[in-house]
Amino acid sequence: MKKRLLAFCFIVLVLCLSPLLAAKDPFSLPVSTVVLDAGHGGKDPGTSASYGFSGGTINESELVLDITKRVYSLLSVERPDLRLVMTRTDDTYVSLAERSRVAYSTELPPQSSLLFVSIHVNSAQSREASGFEVLTKRQEKRVAFLDEHTPIKNIPLFAPFTALELNRLLNQRNLFVAQTFEEVLSQRMVTSRNRGIKERDLYVLNASRGPAVLLELGFLSNEGEARNIISPAWRQQVAMAITVAIIACV
C-alpha cells in the first residue's frame, strides 16, 4: 500500500513538473525577430555638435538613423530569414514607451525569441572622452513578462516559469548578448577605445521585456570621433560590426 502511494505521488510530481522540464529558456531560443532602434528623432535630436569641418550642426538622431538603416540593409542580405523591425525609419519622434512596446508586443513565431538593439552616439563634458560602450539592463531591475499586453501567442513561452526565474534567464541572456557585442565591436573597431559593458537603468532596456542592448558608438563631443561619425565609410564599417554581432547572437 505504501509503495502504491509513493508511486502515485511520484506520478503526480512528474505531471506537475513536466511542463517546466520541457520548457526551454524563452530568451535563448533561436532569434526570429530583431528590433532595430535608432535613438531620438523629430523634436528630440539627441546630442549635437558643430565643428569647422562638419558644415553646420550634426545631430545624433540623423547619424544613428543612417547607421541603423545600414544595419537593416546588411542584415536583410546576410540573414533574409530574420524578421527586422525598425522603431523609426525617418526623422520622427517616437517615445521611449512606444519603442519598447514595439519589442514586447511583437508576436513571435513558436519557439523563437527576439533581440532589441538600440543605436546611439555619446557625448561628455570632457572633450577627451572617447570610445564605444555596450549598455545592458541592471540585473536587479525586475521585469514583468505576463500581463494584458503580452501577445496571446507569446504566453506559452513564458507561462511555465516564475517571474523570478524569467528575470534570472533574461539577465543571463543579456550578459551573453552584451559580451558578444563588446567582443565583435572591439575586434572590428580597432581604432576605438573599448569602454566595456555597463549596466544602466534605461527605459528601453527595462521596458522591452526581452534581451536588449544599447550601443553608444562614439563621442560627438570628441573632435576626432566626430570626424569618424560623420564619415559614411566609418558608419558603414560600424554598421557591419553591429550586423556581425547580431548574427553571432541569433
Contact set with Zn ion (CB under 5 A): 39, 46, 120
CA 65 to chain centre: 16
For residues 218 and 34, give the distance between their C-alpha atoms in angstroms, rounded to a whole number. Answer: 23
Quick one: 64 or 184, whose CB is closer to Zn ion? 64
The three-state (H, E, C) secondary structure of 196-226, written as one string: EEEEECCHHHHHCCCCEEEEEEEECCCHHHH
Q: Minimum distance from CB of 194 to Zn ion (Å)?
A: 19
Q: Minimum distance from CB of 89 to Zn ion (Å)?
A: 18
Quick one: 157 or 220, whose CB is closer to Zn ion? 220
Quick one: 46 or 218, whose CB is closer to Zn ion? 46
Quick one: 39 or 218, whose CB is closer to Zn ion? 39
Q: Minimum distance from CB of 247 to Zn ion (Å)?
A: 24
Helix (H, G, I), strand (E, B) or coil at 121: strand
Q: Minimum distance from CB of 19 to Zn ion (Å)?
A: 41
Cell numbers 535563448 label which residue?
28
Which residue lies nearest Zn ion, judged by its C-beta? 120
Quick one: 26 or 39, whose CB is closer to Zn ion? 39
Taking the alpha carbons at both ends of the chain, their separation in whole angstroms is: 52
According to DSSP, the residues that pair with 134 across neighbouring strands are 197, 215
Quick one: 145 or 181, whose CB is closer to Zn ion? 181
Q: Minimum distance from CB of 35 to Zn ion (Å)?
A: 16
- Between the alpha carbon of residue 91 and those of residues 39, 46, 60, 123, 158, the distances in Å are 10, 12, 11, 20, 35
The pair phi, psi for residue 90, each rounded to 5°, is -145, -170
